[in-house]
Structure 1
Amino acid sequence: MTIARGNVMSTACKKSNTFFLLSSTVVYEQLMPSVNWLILGIFLSLGAQSEQKNLSTTTDLLDSLLSENKYDRKIRPGLGGPPTVIQTDIEIRSFGPISESEMVYSMDCYFRQTWNDSRLQFHHLLNEKLRLQVLSMDWKFLQKVWIPDTFFLNGKSSYLHKVTAPNKFIRLHKSGQLRYSMRLTVKASCPMHLRKYPLDTQACPLEIGSYAYPTHDVFYKWKGPDAVTLSKDVVLSQYDFVNISISHRTNVVKVGNREDQRSVLLVHFKIRRRRGYFILQIYAPCAMIVGASWVSFWINRSDAAGRVAVGATTVLTMVTMGFGGRGREKVNQATAIDWFVIMCFTFVFAALVEYAFVNYIDTYEKNQIKKQLELDREKKKKETALDTITEPAESSQAAQTSSGFSTVRFQETAKENHIKKKPDDHMRQQQMQLQQLGQRLSLRRRPFTAGRLSLEKSGGYRNRHIASKVDSYARIVFPVTFIVLNVMYWTLFLHIMDDELTYLTEQDGSVH
């Protein structure tokens, strides 16, 4: 009985424990979201209080640094002591366009300046809770601190980007170092020497300095040997970057009755013009036109219309393409491309003049042959007339002298003359037969055959076929001369003639 009662009591205790666990679990699940929210609210309130405390501490810090009693933005740092050193660096985001006619170039860059202002040190004002190293400020903070009056000496129309807000900021380090950065589009002058255009290399400068402060107040310095860098995506359509040279110099500026020395930073962008466009658009077409003008040397000189058409067409094409202004800059001196166009035009015009010379020589030859033939015909007519007059006179003289010593003497003389003249008469008859035969051939087959026969035998005008020889020589002389001049042209402008780069790299400058 006692054992049974104990079993019943233990069973009742187990049931009561199970019920308690179930009830506590239900209560925990119902209360847990509220507890979580409560904990989160506590942490947020503590964070907000800490942030508000930090903000108030930072505001108090800036107010204490920039108070009118301690800081005057109109006075440079370290007034009365050594000059304020402005360390400068530039990151170029895009370069170009470059105008040869206006001699200007433009670029988009991040322009940065770094200097120390001991009045803005705040490391000694920090406590353990406020561990600030750098304060990043927007453009409004610049209105409260001193900044250098930097400008571009050879700038023309530079401007600051202002979309969506002025693109500039400043960072203040706890040691008092200020780093001022802005995004600028700079348009500056670039004096160019274009006598080698388009085979030239140019050096476009950028000069940076202070507008008002002399060297004993503000001194500019490049921030390291790689102070000017190019972004990897910078590509120029007409130029290739050769190198970037940085240097420093001192300018003497006259202010009133005194002279001040100003610190100036220089950077030269050395660029080489790409030649592919000019070779495809100017050099190759002009050379092809010159070659086309040589076709006339293989056309028969009697075809005047064909040769004149080839010469006139090539000359007009060269004038339009070479002197039409395409690919040429309007400068007051002859450039490399001008000399090439002039050389090509000279060859084309010389080919046209060559045909005029050949045509003149050919016409002159024909006229000389005609004149020689007419002279030969007239001479033979006169000889024939003299023969007919001489024979009757001799016969009458022989009949009258029939007796006496004088008669015998005259007859003997006449006989001797008659014997001497027989071979001459025979030769004259042969020449007359050949002349008649030559005239028949000239009338039936080809012109001037009789003239050729008579000229060859009589030794008259012998300078024949000069026109054909001129064409034969021109087929060789023109191409060889053009090739030789091209070799001299490219050698001169690519390897011998300099680019007239006037800038010099100072000792403290560097090239990279």
Structure 2
Amino acid sequence: MIKLEDGMWNKIWVPDVFFRNEKRADFHSVTVPQRLLRLYSDGRLWYVSKITAKLSCPMKLKKYPLDTQKCPFIFESFGHTLERVVYKWLPNSVEKEPFEMPQYQLIGWTQRDCSQNYTAGAFPCLQIDFLLKRDIGFYMIQVYIPSILIVILSWVSFWIDIDAVPARVPLGLLTVLTMTTQSAGANSHLPRVSYIKAIDVWMCMCLLFVFASLLEFALVNVYSRKEFNIWRRTNSMMPVQNGRKHHHHHHHRHGSDGAEEEIPLKKVVTTPSGISLHMNGKSDYASLREDEKRFLIEHKQKARHIDKISRKIFPVSFILFNVVYWVTYFMLPDD
């Protein structure tokens, strides 16, 4: 075996290999051209060159970020057909050195012959498919765990009193806006594909849960006010302007002897909620106040019962969604 001097590769024939899916490639020339040419006693030549190449890898992102990608590396002859040149894999033609990638794990590779016919003829071709599994650790920390915490935060409103509107409404709006911002950030560095990705399903469902929590409070609030309005109509009471808490209207008439007498006509009372009511008859204020207080407690208990049901339905539904989501995308085969 003889190592030939540098530059001898320019004086002999070398294969016209090119990378079909190349985007950019460079020879290494620091500090000397990193090429090797050896001549064996049986006449064989061994030519080696070190190249750094940037290759295109068509990705399918339906399972992103739980996906496994197949990235090809394609060698093909530019001008020689199969009648003159044949490419074959050597034993142990691919060797893996210890290295780590920030987002992927190299789990294996496959080799095959990709020779095909063109208009000018059949050209030799070899292809290596590298199997890259995306590391989910980054997405668990930056996407999944924060979104789970936001959904759980939206359930806090179920434990806040229904009368605390200034507390429950901002909490619901804050979680909805936070989920919208997080969804936009998670997709900002991805190509705009026309199909639904796994992360889109996750973000949409989390947004749906926090939005449903906000709608639940609206439902409870409307239900409680509707019940009170129905109660007012069924008790034949006519609201008037707020006045003093307890005063009488009198009607004066003249008797047969010319003397005036007062006849009580109506009594106006103000309820604890600030509503003035005309009451016919001799019902006193104490009894009306107890009736209204009892009704307010009853219909608020009904509204609170909806909150109690939501405390169970929302967590159980979210857990079921998680089971279906993770099982489906982990067991779904890659295309």
- Is TM > 0.5 for Structure 1 vs Structure 2? yes
- In the other structure, the counterpart of 1:173 is 40
**Unaligned 5+ runs, structure 1:** 1-133, 378-431, 453-461, 501-512
Q: Cα distance, 1:328 vs. partner?
A: 5.3
Q: 80, 102, 110: which is aligned to 1:245?
A: 110
Give the AA of the match of 1:360. Answer: V
Distance in 1 (alpha carbons) for counterparts of 2:59 and 2:187: 19
Per the alignment, do residues 215 and 322 of structure 1 end up closer, same or farther by CA in structure 2, a change over 3 Å counting? same
- In the other structure, the counterpart of 1:448 is 292
Q: Cα distance, 1:449 vs. partner?
A: 4.2
Q: Cα distance, 1:447 vs. partner?
A: 6.6
**Pairs aligned (count):** 293
Q: Does 1:436 align with 2:283?
A: yes
The structure with the larger Rg is: 1
Describe the SS at the equivalent of 2:31: coil
Distance in 1 (alpha carbons) for counterparts of 2:199 and 2:15: 46
Deviations 1:437-461, CA, capped at 9 Å, x for gaps: 5x42444xx5714868xxxxxxxxx
Q: 215, 225, 230: which is aligned to 2:96?
A: 230
Describe the SS at the equivalent of 2:59: coil
Per the alignment, do residues 325 and 318 of structure 1 end up closer, same or farther by CA in structure 2, a change over 3 Å counting? same
Moved more, 340-349 or 462-471: 462-471
Distance in 2 (alpha carbons) for counterparts of 1:325 and 1:490: 18
Q: Does 1:157 align with 2:24?
A: yes
Q: Cα distance, 1:221 vs. partner?
A: 0.3
Q: Does 1:329 align with 2:196?
A: no
Mapped contact 1:289–1:314 kept (Cα < 8 A): yes
- In the other structure, the counterpart of 1:364 is 226
Higher share in helix: 1
Q: 48, 53, 58: which is aligned to 1:186?
A: 53
Q: Cα distance, 1:375 vs. partner?
A: 5.4
Mapped contact 1:442–1:450 kept (Cα < 8 A): no
Per the alignment, do residues 328 and 365 of structure 1 end up closer, same or farther by CA in structure 2, a change over 3 Å counting? farther
Q: 467, 483, 508: which is aligned to 2:319?
A: 483
Deviations 1:290-310, CA, capped at 9 Å, x for gaps: 000000001110111111021
- In the other structure, the counterpart of 1:219 is 86
Runs of 4+ in structure 1 displaced over 6 angstroms? none
**Unaligned 5+ runs, structure 2:** 240-279
Distance in 2 (alpha carbons) for counterparts of 1:268 and 1:239: 15
Higher share in strand: 2
- In the other structure, the counterpart of 2:11 is 144
State how 1:95-106 maps to structure 2 within 5 Å.
none
Q: CA RMSD in A?
A: 2.3
Per the alignment, do residues 449 and 374 of structure 1 end up closer, same or farther by CA in structure 2, a change over 3 Å counting? farther
Q: Identical aligned pairs, as a percentage?
A: 33
State how 1:125-144 maps to structure 2 within 5 Å.
134-144=1-11
Q: Does 1:305 align with 2:166?
A: yes
Q: Cα distance, 1:196 vs. partner?
A: 0.5
Distance in 2 (alpha carbons) for counterparts of 1:158 and 1:150: 13
Give the AA of the match of 2:196. Answer: A
Give me the TM-score of the superposition, normalised by structure 1. 0.54
Q: Cα distance, 1:317 vs. partner?
A: 1.2
State how 1:254-403 maps to structure 2 within 5 Å.
254-255=119-120, 260-325=121-186, 329-332=190-193, 333-374=195-236
Per the alignment, do residues 328 and 359 of structure 1 end up closer, same or farther by CA in structure 2, a change over 3 Å counting? farther
Q: Cα distance, 1:326 vs. partner?
A: 5.9
Mapped contact 1:199–1:494 kept (Cα < 8 A): yes
Q: Cα distance, 1:209 vs. partner?
A: 1.6
Describe the SS at the equivalent of 1:270: strand
Give the AA of the match of 2:226. Answer: Y
Q: Does 1:210 align with 2:77?
A: yes
Mapped contact 2:28–2:51 kept (Cα < 8 A): yes
